[in-house]
Structure 1
Amino acid sequence: MDESGSAPVELAVRLISETAHDLRSPLASVAATMELIRDGQLGEVTSMQDDVLQAALKQCDYLNALVGEMLHADGLLGGTTTLHRRVVRRSEIQNMVSDATAAVLATKRIELLFDGLDANEAPIYVDATLLCRLLVNLVVNAERASSEDSTILIKAHDDHECGVVRWSVVDCGGGISSEKMRELANPGASPKRAKSDYGGRSTGTGLGLMICRQLATLHYSDLRIRSRVGSGTDVMFETPLAHPTAVATAFARFRNQIFGPAMRPKPIAGDIVPSQSDRSAAASSWKEATLNFVGAGPRCGSRVAIGTTSISGDHAAGAVDTFDRILQSRLGRFEVSYRTTRRTWVWVLDADHRTVADRMRKIDVSLGKLLENVEVTWGEPTVVPVGHRTLQSLLIDRMTTQALSAATSEIFGHAVDRDTVRPGTDPIASSPVAATRLDEELRRLTVRMRHHSDRMKSQSAALRPPRS
């Protein structure tokens, strides 16, 4: 990372965070005073006055949320935000976002639409709270740029080939000019509120989008903005689907692309990254910018350590869930812990051969202080280079092997816990179907190999020179 480029951002965020501490107390006093007036403690309140006070209190709630974002900005940039990634149903995200944005959107009578967030859609692997914050921030930005009686769309499209869900927050507001798009794409620029050149309406793309950039990074994604003045804005990011291959691929791609030696080419700071449609249709006035990661990098830029952790003994599900939350809270931005079964995890630590043992020891000591009588077994770590397919391949192998081993043991009737299947799936019932299919597949492969062998023999005989 270019430290000189991110220094102005870090300084601005630190100043914003310190200022937010000073704003919270007087804001709470103002809200408490208005509540006293609304409740009639200082005299009778008319119906019209009550409506005005309710609207003012809603604005106080919004300001309080904004101050909260300002307080969290320093942690997001420094990578100290506590994470709890888990298997999440999309309907849960929809309900959280709807509740959080209802009051803000009601002021302009804006309708929030959802596409691809039904309960029957494939689950995702995210931190539900942080994903909700990301979507709420984007919706609030869209609301500021939108007119009354308009709509905002949150769309989630599955890309099963890549193992991700592509999210979009689309508005029909004034759009963002090319100049402002360049400011957004420049990681070294000081955060400031950007205004659309269309009607002078504020789009709120300063602090809010800077925080959104970091929240997207925590889900292994860039933040992409596509906009056209007079037409609206589409903000996009990705989250992994909730299966081992998708999570392993998303993390490995994120770690390799940003910090590995085989880094992808990055645009010059401030340049707009053209989309495929822009390149194919020069007449299009849609502009696209990509907001990459900004902040402190990993401790070990060229190596990571991969290993496993398991809990032995008979423990209640609540204790195991607590262990999962504590384990994730001890990991940094460039580390991950994936729960392959109810009692086993695969993790990636930001460490190399010299530091991995000490890193594991510190995590183990921290877990032991918070959870008593829980026997934790740490597997032998493997240190792999960053920037190569080795990281992705090994991570996929570790995650899928553990997830499948529990399922296989359950299918063939081995004595295992009933809750050892991957979280988010139904318990696996004993069935001879899997064994039958395996036998059929082995027979098919045997016949196929025999045919290949016969063909190779005939080709070899044809190539052999004739005897004189």
Structure 2
Amino acid sequence: MSPDSHAINLLLVDDLQENLVALEALIRAPDRRIFTARSGDAALSLMLEHSFALAIIDVQMPSMNGFELAELMRGTERTRAIPIVFVSAAGHELNYAFRGYESGAVDFLHKPLDPHTVRSKVSVFVELFRQRQELQEAKAQLQRAVSMRDDFMSMIAHELRNPLNSVYLQAQLRRKMVGGPRQPDAQAMLRMVERDERQIRSMVRLLDDMLDVSRVRTGKLTIVPAPFDLVASAQVVVEAIQEQGKATGVQVTLSAPPTLEIVGDEFRIEQVITNLLTNALRYGQGKPVAVAVGLREEVPEAFVSVRDQGMGIAAADQERIFEQFERTEGAAQVAGLGLGLYIARQIAQAHHGRLEVRSAPGEGAEFVLSLPLAAPDASA
């Protein structure tokens, strides 16, 4: 971003170059970008290209005087709201002022110009413009927050409806079986219970994700560091995910040394690996998923890599997907709230680690969790 990206634009209009130079010298400041025009036509061209906090216009100009320029400005949507201060060598005649205000002026400067008055008035308009910008930004943020809330409520309703419907249908089926002539056998009941447990775990995970987001926002997401074997933790998660993978024919493999001792919050690290593997199953298009655990001795730091062979992620989306409720393009049909990666990165950062993605469209994605061998003692 350039140094001038937050500068406020001011427009000076006068047919005499020496007047423009003198006025610019009076109002120049580091946070201001000053444009000059020596005719009404040139001023209109600049106003169609840029947004201005204020236009200071000399009244007596050939071809098109200041009043005529102001009337044209008021007739164009883009220039209508620009405040106009007229500069005039005329006295304080009442009719003259009336014409100026009817043309859209908000103030007058009378020649010879008083430097203190000019600077004070320009500063007022610059500050008003800055405040309008801040209000517009706040309004845009509020609208985005409302939109995110509505989207969130819609996603919650959708994500909870499916497992609840499933549990409800299972309960109805059991009611019929219990009341019917044939009593269900133990294996059939066990399968139903297992299905119920999966759906309930799905709902519990959604609620846990929402609680974790709340903890992050309030600074209450804590880590409890202790020594543990990262390889053993990864094995536990991979074995649990392999059971899910079998149902859809997805092979999940683990490559790791025999052990890798680090200090961190084992529960939270397993949560990150679970989130990454769950995403790999969701977006991996039914292809094998590879997990690797290792040590970068030159740093030193441990890492966990989860690689899928799915749709991949465009470069423009690779940071966005780590924000709340964000998902990749084309993922609308995939279950989830878009919170997993956000929470996972927060946990990585709480360990003074990193969570990064390497991907390209159509080439799958690799998520890499990098962790120091000893986590900080403080809370996240």
Provide TM-score, normalisation by structure 1: 0.42
Q: Are residues 1:240 and 2:372 paired?
A: yes
- What amino acid maps onto 2:362 in structure 1? G
Q: Are residues 1:163 and 2:300 paired?
A: yes
Q: Are residues 1:172 and 2:312 paired?
A: no
The change in CA–CA distance for 1:31 and 1:169 in structure 2 (over 3 A counts) is same
| Number of residue pairs aligned between Structure 1 and Structure 2 | 238
The correspondence of residues 76-87 of structure 1 with structure 2, limited to 5 A, is 76-87=216-227
Equivalent in the alignment of 1:194? 328
Instruction: Determine which structure has more spread, i.e. the larger CA radius of gyration.
Output: 2
- 1:163-217 CA deviation, whole Å, 9 max, x = no partner? 21122111111112334335336x5xx62333348xx874858222111121211
The root-mean-square deviation of aligned C-alpha atoms, in Å, is 4.4
Match of 1:122 among 260, 268, 287: 260
Match of 1:208 among 329, 335, 340: 340
- 3-state SS of 1:206 partner: coil
Separation in 2 of the partners of 1:181 and 1:77? Answer: 22
The change in CA–CA distance for 1:9 and 1:85 in structure 2 (over 3 A counts) is farther
- What amino acid maps onto 2:368 in structure 1? M
The change in CA–CA distance for 1:205 and 1:156 in structure 2 (over 3 A counts) is farther
Separation in 1 of the partners of 2:203 and 2:319? Answer: 28
Separation in 2 of the partners of 1:12 and 1:92? Answer: 38
The change in CA–CA distance for 1:15 and 1:176 in structure 2 (over 3 A counts) is closer
- What amino acid maps onto 1:241 in structure 2? L
- What amino acid maps onto 2:379 in structure 1? G
Equivalent in the alignment of 1:332? 379
Separation in 2 of the partners of 1:71 and 1:51? Answer: 30
The change in CA–CA distance for 1:180 and 1:157 in structure 2 (over 3 A counts) is same
- 3-state SS of 1:113 partner: strand
- What amino acid maps onto 2:299 in structure 1? C
Separation in 1 of the partners of 2:344 and 2:141? Answer: 16
| Alpha-carbon contact 2:167-2:199 (below 8 Å) kept | no
Separation in 1 of the partners of 2:277 and 2:149? Answer: 22
> Offset of 1:218 from its aligned partner?
1.8
> Offset of 1:54 from its aligned partner?
4.2
Separation in 1 of the partners of 2:358 and 2:367? Answer: 6
Provide TM-score, normalisation by structure 2: 0.50
> Offset of 1:221 from its aligned partner?
1.9
Equivalent in the alignment of 2:349? 217
- What amino acid maps onto 1:81 in structure 2? L
Equivalent in the alignment of 1:300? none
- What amino acid maps onto 1:136 in structure 2? T
The change in CA–CA distance for 1:60 and 1:26 in structure 2 (over 3 A counts) is same
- 3-state SS of 2:237 partner: helix
Equivalent in the alignment of 1:34? 170
Equivalent in the alignment of 1:296? none
| Alpha-carbon contact 1:36-1:42 (below 8 Å) kept | no
Equivalent in the alignment of 2:238? 98
Equivalent in the alignment of 2:282? 144
| Alpha-carbon contact 1:175-1:196 (below 8 Å) kept | no
> Offset of 1:100 from its aligned partner?
3.8
| Alpha-carbon contact 2:231-2:260 (below 8 Å) kept | no
- 3-state SS of 2:248 partner: coil
| Alpha-carbon contact 2:312-2:361 (below 8 Å) kept | yes
Unaligned runs of 5+ in 2: 1-137
- What amino acid maps onto 1:133 in structure 2? Q
> Offset of 1:85 from its aligned partner?
0.9
Separation in 2 of the partners of 1:49 and 1:6? Answer: 51
| Alpha-carbon contact 2:354-2:371 (below 8 Å) kept | no
Separation in 2 of the partners of 1:41 and 1:240? Answer: 56
> Offset of 1:16 from its aligned partner?
5.7
The correspondence of residues 47-446 of structure 1 with structure 2, limited to 5 A, is 54-55=194-195, 57-118=197-258, 121-148=259-286, 150-181=287-318, 183-184=320-321, 191-196=325-330, 202=334, 206-242=338-374, 247=375, 331-333=378-380
- What amino acid maps onto 1:157 in structure 2? G
Separation in 1 of the partners of 2:148 and 2:217? Answer: 11
> Offset of 1:27 from its aligned partner?
6.6
| Alpha-carbon contact 1:167-1:237 (below 8 Å) kept | yes
| Alpha-carbon contact 1:94-1:117 (below 8 Å) kept | no
- 1:362-414 CA deviation, whole Å, 9 max, x = no partner? xxxxxxxxxxxxxxxxxxxxxxxxxxxxxxxxxxxxxxxxxxxxxxxxxxxxx
Unaligned runs of 5+ in 1: 252-327, 334-468
- 3-state SS of 2:329 partner: coil
Separation in 2 of the partners of 1:108 and 1:71? Answer: 30
- 1:342-381 CA deviation, whole Å, 9 max, x = no partner? xxxxxxxxxxxxxxxxxxxxxxxxxxxxxxxxxxxxxxxx
- 3-state SS of 2:379 partner: coil
Separation in 2 of the partners of 1:154 and 1:202? Answer: 22
- 3-state SS of 2:276 partner: helix
Separation in 2 of the partners of 1:77 and 1:62? Answer: 23
